[in-house]
Copies of this chain bind each other. A is one copy, B any other.
Amino acid sequence: MLDPMRHATPEEAEQAFYRAFERRDLEAMMRVWAEAAHVVCIHPMGERLTGVEAVRRGWAEIFAGGVELAFRLEAVHRVHGPNLAVHVVREVIHVAGEPRPRPPVEATNVYQLERDGWRMILHHASPVGRPRPREARPPLH
């Protein structure tokens, strides 16, 4: 029988990911991720975190801040294969007590089908729409 904590679709895994993020629930967050050496998490402007232990430490650090966040996803873009699903989402992040959302974050979320359902294997998030630093126009990249 499928573990009811597992996710039948990439969309279910994505919902669980953002719910765990909003609740700052580290165990729920890590149930979304594959328990694998090949998972990768890149927080905005952060170093790449590779492997489940590094990914867990990254979330523990963020959740330790105790800041209440609410996510709205916009412009959800999906490409699905038989065992990999690639989503690009625009995260609009509301911080409790702030009148306006933060500047948006673009996130690439990749899910992999495992025996027990879809798990996250990649979260690459980066700020967008701010002036590019250090470089004159036109940009190099």
Q: Using a CB–CB distance below 8 Å, which chain A residues touch chain B?
A: 21, 38, 40, 42-48, 50, 61-62, 64-65, 67, 69, 75, 77, 79, 81-84, 86, 88, 90-91, 93, 95, 102, 105-106, 108, 110, 112, 121-122, 124-133, 137-141
Contact = CB atoms under 8 A, between A and B. Distances in A.
B129 A47 contact: yes
A91 B126 CA distance: 15
A55 to B, nearest CB: 13
A62 B141 contact: yes
Q: Which 10 A/B pairs are nearest by Cβ-Cβ distance?
A: A126-B126, A65-B138, A81-B84, A84-B84, A108-B124, A81-B83, A45-B132, A81-B81, A108-B108, A61-B138
Instruction: Find the residue from A50, A79, A83 having the highest chain B CB count within 10 A.
Output: A79
A106 to B, nearest CB: 5
A43 B133 CA distance: 13
Contact of A61 (B38, B43, B48, B139): B139
A61 B126 CA distance: 21
A87 to B, nearest CB: 10
A131 B134 CA distance: 14
